[in-house]
Amino acid sequence: MRREASINVLLSTWPMTFHLCRTAPQRDMVPLLFFSVLVAQAWSVRPQQLPVPKNIFILAGQSNMAGRGGVVNDTITGVATWDGIIPPQCQPNPSVLRLSANLTWVLAHEPLHADIDFNKTNGVGPGMAFANAVLAKDPTFGAIGLVPCAIGGTKISEWGRGTFLYNQLVQRARASLQDGGGNTIQALLWYQGESDTISKEDAESYKGKLERFFMDLRDDLQSPMLPIIQVALASGGGPFVKIVREEQMGIDLLNLRTVDAKGLALEPDGLHLTTPSQVRLGQMLADTFRQFLPSGPIVSLTYSGSSARCSTFIVDFFIAPLLRCINRIILLN
């Protein structure tokens, strides 16, 4: 878009410039040519006025993370439509960007997943409410970059290492770190599991698959301490919601918090959160994320390629969870 705008400006001014080159004195040509260049330059840098997002958040899971707030299915045609209502808490913010499907930063706006979960009708999700709530609590936090990755109707088995969804998530997460330098993935926001409530076998094996997914993702992003905030189900597509919720609540990984969506209002389909519920969920996620904010320095290991180096990293956790994590690693190996 930036290049096309520059070309259009140059082409639109060139006939006039060329005509004056033949008729006006040379001293009159120079200001006109200079003005044309300035106009083209102004058009070309406009998109670059967006801030470079330093604080990256990955949004992953299925439909309630992608956002179905305000989406209603026509009972006659079966066609899903979004009402287009965007509450104040989800309005665009110049300090909140999103990574588009073509891996470029753009101003974030609802629906955040429109070009990611493109086979479904998207509405309001928790992402914008989350980002705006974080900035409202701390205006000095810095620009936020949201990385939408959620796909509606997916099971946890579809997010395992090596699958399309997993590879796409890792690719997008890595791409979010490329611009500007100093970018940091602050957390993974995860809301998934409704599709795993249909089969009892899927429900009872959910915990192990989700733990493996989290550990693999931390490994592939070279971020062993990556904060994760998961959402415990408010609903499900089958009869085993209780089992999946128990599996979610039973996960005990280092630097993981759980936000419980149970009790939040649902759309008429009984499955998806309403727009007000998505706003509330976003605020709950923001409050939970604040628990990860600095409370004191500790020494931890960070990884670069195959080598590990020791550095000071500020993170909020306790010795007991650390020991449990070490014990888990020993058992897995």
- Encode the chain (333 residues) as per-residue pLDDT tens digits: 433 333 333 333 333 333 433 444 444 444 444 444 333 443 333 445 888 889 999 999 999 999 999 999 888 888 999 999 999 999 999 999 999 999 999 999 999 999 999 999 999 999 999 999 999 999 999 999 999 999 999 999 999 999 999 999 999 999 999 976 689 999 999 999 999 999 999 999 999 999 999 999 999 999 999 999 999 999 999 999 999 999 999 999 999 999 999 999 999 999 999 999 999 999 999 999 999 988 644 333 333 333 333 333 334 444 444 544 554 454 445
Number of domains in the chain: 3
- What is the phi/psi pair of residue 195, to 5°? -75, -15
Closest residue by Cα to residue 38 from 2, 10, 8: 10
Q: What pLDDT does residue 186 have?
A: 98
CB 290 within 8 A of CB 55: no
Say yes or no: 44 and 60 in one domain.
Answer: no
Angle at 84 between CA 79 and CA 86, to 5 degrees: 145
CATH code of residue 201: 3.40.50.1110
**pTM: predicted TM-score of the whole model, two decimal places:** 0.77
Rounded distance between C-alpha atoms, residue 41 and residue 7, angstroms: 10
Residues 152 and 229 both lie in one domain = yes
Return the amino acid letter for 66: A
**Which H helix or E strand runs over 109?**
none
Asked if 249 and 126 sit in the same domain, the reply is yes
Region for 180 from its dihedrals, namely left if φ exceeds 0, alpha if ψ lies in -120 to 50, beta otherwise: left
Residues with a catalytic annotation lie at: 63, 269, 272
153 and 68 housed in the same domain: yes
Q: How far apart are CA 229 and CA 246, in angstroms?
A: 16
272 plus 135 within the same structural domain: yes
Q: Do 121 and 97 sit in the same domain of this protein? A: yes
Structural domain of 309: 297-332
User: By the 8 A CB rule, do 230 and 256 touch?
Assistant: yes
Q: Does one domain contain both 302 and 285?
A: no
User: Is the domain of 26 the same as that of 113?
Assistant: no
**Same domain as 136, residue 243:** yes
